């Protein structure tokens, strides 16, 4: 399944817009980016080398931020286009998976680990 960069970005934006307002308000010092493919360093963060890296959260999760938190670079969530295209067969499936990936990475920002997120469908 192939998708244009514009449509991929639009799907990411729509996923972000679907986040409830109370969680949206809690997003602070974080940027969302897209990239075609993860690099070697990003792939090395994976627990399971057999699967595709769909997204990556890099930063200090909200629960770990203390009163001394400040003056740091923004956290970054990167959503990878190529892996999404490879695992999805239809446009609808791709949009659903992008939303799921965005929610999964936002979950890491809020301090949830992979086991918790996978157990809850993300």
Instruction: Render pLDDT for 42-95 as a digit per residue (tens, 0 to 9).
Output: 998 887 655 899 999 999 999 998 888 888 899 999 999 999 999 999 999 999
Which pLDDT band holds residue 5 (cuts at 50, 70, 90)? Answer: very high
Count of residues for the chain? 122
Strands 75-80 and 30-35: parallel
> b vs e for 94-122, b when ≥16 Cβ sit within 10 Å of the residue's Cβ?
bbebbbbbbbbbbbbbeebeeeebeeeeb
The domain spans of the chain are 5-64+73-119
Predicted TM-score (pTM) of the model is 0.92
pLDDT digits (tens, 9 = 90+) for 101-114: 999 999 999 999 98
Asked if residue 76 lies in contact with residue 31, where contact means CB atoms within 8 angstroms, the answer is yes
> How is domain 5-64+73-119 classified at the architecture level of CATH?
2-Layer Sandwich (3.30)
């Amino acid at each position: 399944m192939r998708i244009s960069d514009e449509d991929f970005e639009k799907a990411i934006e729509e996923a972000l817009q679907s986040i409830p307002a109370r969680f949206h308000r809690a997003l602070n010092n974080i940027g969302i980016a897209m990239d075609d493919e993860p690099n070697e360093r990003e792939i090395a963060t994976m627990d399971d080398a057999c699967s595709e890296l769909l997204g990556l959260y890099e930063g200090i999760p909200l629960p770990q931020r203390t009163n001394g938190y400040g003056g740091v670079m923004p956290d970054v969530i990167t959503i990878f286009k190529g892996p999404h295209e490879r695992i999805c067969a239809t446009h609808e499936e791709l949009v659903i998976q992008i939303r799921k990936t965005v929610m999964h990475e936002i979950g890491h920002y809020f301090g949830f680990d992979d086991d918790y997120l996978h157990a809850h469908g993300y």
